[in-house]
Structures are given as C-alpha cells and as structure tokens.
A and B are shown apart, each in its own frame.
Chain A
Amino acid sequence: MKAYWQLTLAQLRIFLRNRQVLFWTLAFPIFLMVMLGSFLGNGNGMSVTIGYVDLDHSSQSKQLAGVLKKNEAISLEKAFSKKDALAQLKQGDVQLVVEVPKGYEKRMKDSSQNEKPFSLPVFYNETDMAVSQIGQQLVYNAVDAVSKQKADYKPAVVINPKGVEALNLRYIDFLVPGIVAMMILSNNMNGVAGQIASWRERGILRRMQGTTLKAHTFIAAQITARLMLNGLQALIVLMVARLVFDVEVRGSWLTLISFVILGTLAFMAIGFIIAGIAKTPESAGPIAGFLSFPMLFLGGVFFPIKNMPEFLQPIVHILPIAHLTTAMRETMNVGASFMSLGTEALVLGGWIIGAFIVASLTFKWE
C-alpha cells in the first residue's frame, strides 16, 4: 500500500513538473474548442444557404427576403438570375434556390380573390436530401408566416417555444463533450503508450523489476495518477467551455465523471497494449497515431456519428470513442441519466476488461 501511494505521488509529481507536457495537453483541446467554437459555434447547429432570385423587385418580395433572413439558420444569398443561382446550387455553394417570379406582389395584393394560392418555385439538390428538406421546411415556415400575416390569421394552438430551444443545440454544445472525449483518448492512449515504452527503453522499469515491487501495484498507481490528472483536465476544459461559451452540463456530474473514468480506463488499457507491442518508444507514437486518428474522425468527436457513411457504421459502433462521445454528449446536452446510458457503459466496460487482459499478456518490464 505504501508503494502504491509513493508511486502515485511520484507519477503526479512527474506530471506536474513536466510543465511543457502539462501545458500542451491542456492547450490543445482548449485551443481547438476556442477555434472551432468561434468559427462555427455562433448560430444554429446547422445553417442553410439559400440562393434568392428576386425577379419581382417589389416591397412584397423584399418582405419575404426579410422574413427568411430573420431565421438564424438561413443565410441568404442574392442572385441576379435564375441561371446563376442554379449553377451555384449544382456546385453546392447554396443548398436551395428560391425564385420570386414577376407579378408576385400583384398576386399577393389581390390574393383574396384567388382560390388557388400562389406557388413559389423552390429548387433543391436531390443528392443532398437531408439539407434540402430542412431548407424546404425553413422556406415553408417563412412563406407560411407571410401568408398567415396576410390572412390576418390568429392561431388557435401555439407550440411551446421552450421545447424548440432545447432541441436547438449550438455546435459548441455538441463540440465540448467531443473534445473532452478526444482529450481522454489522446492523453491516455498516446500518453501511456509513449511513457511506458520510453520508461522501458531507459531501463526504469527494469530497475523496478529488481525490487520486490509487484507489477499490479505499479499499474494501479499509474491508473490512479492518470485518473486524477484526467479528471482535473476534463474539469478545466469544462470550466473554460462554461465561462467562454456558456456550455452547461445538463445531466448529473456524477454520470459525467463516471464516463470520464470509464473512458480513461479503456484508453489507458489500449495504451498499455500499444506499449507492449511497440519495440521502441519511437514506434509507440506512430502506432498510437494509427489508432487514434481514425477514432477521432469516425468516433463522433467533431461530426455526428449519424453523418458517417452507411458502410462505416458497423465499425463506428464498435469504437470505444463513439460510445464515450455519445455518453458524454447525452449527459451534457440532453441530461441523460447513467441508467439510460447502459449500452455505452457496457461497451466501454467490455473494452476495459478485454484490453486489460490483452495488456497483461503483452506487458513487458523490459
């Protein structure tokens, strides 16, 4: 027990005295968060660029443009001709084209005499259905608002705006749990792999093997020290997110911390495996990189897992990082309870057990 505490203490001292590592492991996630958060974090999680072709040039058509512009999810781009706008649509510069034909104002003014409503042509890209549909919905809402105003419509039922707000997550809310998960992945997997491989190379582990120290005491101390440090780092990143971007944790902190612990253990175990496989500290880095890069891109750190191509889905759903990001996101954004995240906890638990078994088989003191 004395050895366990002394080793934990030693590891924490080494962490805290290695200022450079300490700084950069913290600076990177915070930098990433501030960068991505500032560029993409303002406004809605998703925005649609709509090409607006105004052939009517009337106050009515300007009013419609105004209504569309008011929606934060829409960025309106004026086009001079339909041809230009459609070319932009094909290139993907805009996701939707709304054409206001000549005579729009005229029709609107005497709309009461017409049975048939005015039909507004909306062009969309068939290959990008998801965005097109959201865009169409947004245009529909705008047109609907205009028509209702016109008809002096009084709604009998209104939707609860609070509900709309809750679903309307900003990108930064999506991003922060992902970044915390990424930090857990890289600090533990890459950190353990690099450190253990280098300690082995330098004979530090070998010297300890010459004492009565047990391997499990050593590993337990490593885990404890890293859990403490990771908890602290995750907390700092969350504090920055809270102070700078007003990101909050909607679920319980206990659930969040539980997943930080599960993630730390899972990636540390994988790190121990890499340290076991890597013959030199130089090869530990690329091996860890080979594993961490696909996980960062496929595992829902920056982009939603749902956006991944269909054929990758089965792979994505095995990755521990995918379950960690999902669990952290559900906890922070939606406020899910630990019980409702049973699948994620189980998969991570499976990874922890499996990886520690493999790690103990591949672990070498020298």
Chain B
Amino acid sequence: MKGYLALFYDVVKKWGITLSSHETIIKAEHLVKRYGDFYAVNGVDFEVHRGEVFGLLGPNGAGKTTTLEMLVGLRKPDEGTAWIGEFDIRKDLERIKEVIGVQLQSTTLFELLTVEEILKMYASFYPKHISIPELIEDMILTDKRKSRIKSLSGGQKQRLAIALALVHDPWIIFLDEPTTGLDPQARRTLWDIVLNLKQKGKTIMLTTHYMDEAHVLCDRIAIMDQGKMIALDTPENLVKNLQSDSAVEFRVDENAPFHLEDIKGVTQIGGHKDVQVLYTDNLQETLTSLIETASEKGLKLTDLQTRTATLEDVFIHMTGRSLREG
C-alpha cells in the first residue's frame, strides 16, 4: 500500500511539474502585420511557457521586433491575435499592460532626470510597484542612483531600461535586442541579469540577432526570417537537427570545377557568397578528403577553419544566408 501511495505521489509530482513547466502564458495565433504590400510579419504561431526564456532569433528586418511590439500592444496586428495569460491583445490591452514589462529597442529616456527619479516616475504609472532601492541594487545601479541619465554608459542605460520594465513586478518581460551595441563585458552583465530574472520565476521573451546570446540565455528559440517563423525548438535540438557536429569553412575561387559532393563524410553543404561550409560528423575524414581533392585539382583553399556547428549554421542551412548579412 505504502509503495502504491509513493508511486502515486511520484506520478502526481511528475505530472505536476510537467504541467506547470508547460503552462502556456503567451499564445500567438497567425499574427500578420502588413505595410502596404510588404509583410513585416507573415502568419506567425507560437506558444511561450511560463518561466522560460523564449528567444526570437533572426537577422535585422526578419520581423522579430514587429512580432514583439504586437504582443505588447504597440502595433495592431492586421490578422490573427495573441493571448497573454487569458487576455486578448486586441481587447484587453489595459489589463495586459499591468502584467508585462517592456524594454524597447530604440528608447531614449528623459536625459535630465536621475535614475531614481525616472524609476519613481514609472512606478507611479502603475497601481503597485516593487521596492525601488532593491530594484536599483539588482540592476547594479546603486552608485548611479543620483546620476542623470545623460551621464550613464550604454550598459547602464540598458540596465535602467530593464529596471523600468520590472518596476511593477510583471509576469512577463519583453526585451527587444537588449545587448545590441554593448561591449562584451556589459553584455555578460546583462546576461546574468536575465538569468537571474528567470531564476525568480519570470517569463522572458527576447529578440536578438546574436546566436551566442540566444544559445546562452534561451530555453527555446524561434528562428525568424522574412516575416516567417522557420524553426522553433531548444538550442540543442536545433543544432542537433543539423545532423552534423562540425563545420568546415573555407574560401575557394567560385569558378573552380569543384564538386563538394565528392568529398567524403559530408552530410550537408552550406555557404554564402564565396565562403563554402561543409557539415560533417567525421571531421578528420572530411578534412583529409577536402585537402586531397583540392591538391589534385590544383585549387587554392584560403581561410580554412573548422568548428563545432552552431545556431548560426542552423540559420545558414535554413536560409542560405548568414545572420549578420541581414
């Protein structure tokens, strides 16, 4: 009997965890945003689970920001809708604004106010707010609390923008390109902040065009390109689905009679412009074969390098273009 009961509890616990970790908090259904004939977002569906960090990855102009701005009510979708909790973004925007926090890509703040003053001001816009000194502490701005916004560094301004998104203790935090334009040190500080927020149980949806950032921060990633969602999975699965561990990258004269398919161990061929990328599970075999073939044909390989396959490769593989090309 005791054994059955323990088993029962185990099952409940397991199911309970499974259920809670898959509780949908954002549900987007066929979101479309058009500007004239141009589809900025062209029928996007996805779900975000409570407590996860959900990333929208893609080059500039892929529709990431437009998607995010529709969710926070700054743009009206032309078709489709989305729910934040049980609230519909077409109807319950006022309720939604109480439970979400946003950091927008190109926000400037009142430059002549101090950190503390602007936080107090934003706190006053909401029915309730969290302790401002604690928030300033969490965002590592304690030294700067009496400083004017004008005097802050890029990283400090970005942390302040996130602090403003957190001031009313929202369930979900939307971060639009939070680390764009920051130096590596400031980016890492920001990553820590995002991971801390996750620890505290917040749901975070962010956009980025840095694949390393997406990999470090996100539980699941949606890859967007030209207004469409082309993949949605965990970073590990996305890379695994490439079916290759390694990538070999090199340059070679484009007009050379070079049949990459003949090289041994190649699972996939990618590349853009004059850069060729070979994906393989057997790096040594492929590399040897590549060099032999090149020698036989008298071709000159330049910038030859090997690496493990990354999200960047997933993107190149799916679109034939690099993330940075836009």
Contacts and interface: CB of A to CB of B under 8 A. Distances in A.
Nearest to A210: B102
A203 B65 CA distance: 14
B185 interface: no
A204 B109 contact: yes
Given A6-B124, A18-B112, A212-B125, A206 B117 contact: no
B248 to A, nearest CB: 44
Interface in B85-128: 94, 97-98, 102, 104, 106-110, 112-113, 117-118, 120-122, 124-127
B126 A211 contact: yes
A64 B298 CA distance: 118
Interface string B40-65: 00000000000000000000000000
B271 interface: no
Interface stretch (A9-17, A111-119, A148-156, A161-169): A9-17
Interface residues of A, number: 23
A208 B125 contact: yes
A206 B106 CA distance: 10
B6 interface: no
Contacts of A202: 108
A213 interface: yes
B265 interface: no
Q: Is the interface of B mostly helix, strand, loop or mixed?
A: loop
B194 interface: no
A206 B125 contact: no
A7 B121 contact: yes
Q: Is the interface of A mostly helix, strand, loop or mixed?
A: helix
Nearest to A13: B113
A283 B122 CA distance: 30
B73 interface: yes
A10 B73 CA distance: 25
B72 interface: yes
Contacts of A203: 104, 106-108
Nearest to A202: B108
B104 A212 contact: no
Contacts of A18: 112
Contacts of B113: 10, 13-14
A220 interface: no
Nearest to B148: A17
A207 to B, nearest CB: 5
B72 A6 contact: no
Given A6-B124, A210-B104, A211-B126, A14 B110 contact: yes
A123 interface: no
B108 A212 contact: no
A206 B97 contact: no
Contact of B94 (A9, A210, A212): A212
Contact of A207 (B97, B109, B168): B109
B74 interface: yes
Nearest to B112: A17
A3 interface: yes
Interface in A177-208: 202-204, 206-208
A18 B113 CA distance: 11
Given A17-B112, A211-B125, A212-B125, A10 B107 contact: no
Nearest to B93: A212
Interface string A54-76: 00000000000000000000000
Contact of B107 (A3, A6, A9, A204): A204
B123 to A, nearest CB: 8
A13 B117 contact: yes
A104 interface: no
Interface string A1-36: 011011101100110011000000000000000000
A210 B74 CA distance: 7
A212 B112 contact: no
A343 interface: no
B205 to A, nearest CB: 14
B212 to A, nearest CB: 27
Interface string B260-271: 000000000000
A206 B112 contact: no
A203 B102 CA distance: 13
Nearest to A217: B125
A206 B109 CA distance: 11
Nearest to A1: B124
A141 interface: no
Contacts of A13: 112-113, 117
Interface string B114-153: 0001101110111100000000000000000000100000
B124 A2 contact: yes
B97 A211 contact: yes
A13 B124 CA distance: 16
A201 to B, nearest CB: 9
A210 B117 contact: no
B218 to A, nearest CB: 22
B121 A6 contact: yes
Contacts of B98: 212
Given A206-B74, A212-B125, A6 B120 contact: yes
Contacts of B125: 3, 6, 208, 211-213
A195 to B, nearest CB: 11
Nearest to B95: A212
Contacts of B94: 212
A133 B67 CA distance: 76
Nearest to A11: B110
Nearest to B102: A210
Contact of B124 (A3, A206, A207, A210): A3
B19 to A, nearest CB: 31
5 contacts: A7-B121, A204-B109, A206-B107, A211-B168, A212-B97
Interface of B: 72-74, 94, 97-98, 102, 104, 106-110, 112-113, 117-118, 120-122, 124-127, 148, 164, 168
Interface of A: 2-3, 5-7, 9-10, 13-14, 17-18, 202-204, 206-213, 366
Given A10-B113, A14-B110, 6 more contacts: A5-B124, A7-B124, A203-B107, A207-B102, A210-B73, A212-B125
In the complex, the 6 A-B pairs of residues with the closest C-beta atoms, listed nearest first: A6-B124, A213-B125, A202-B108, A17-B112, A2-B124, A211-B125
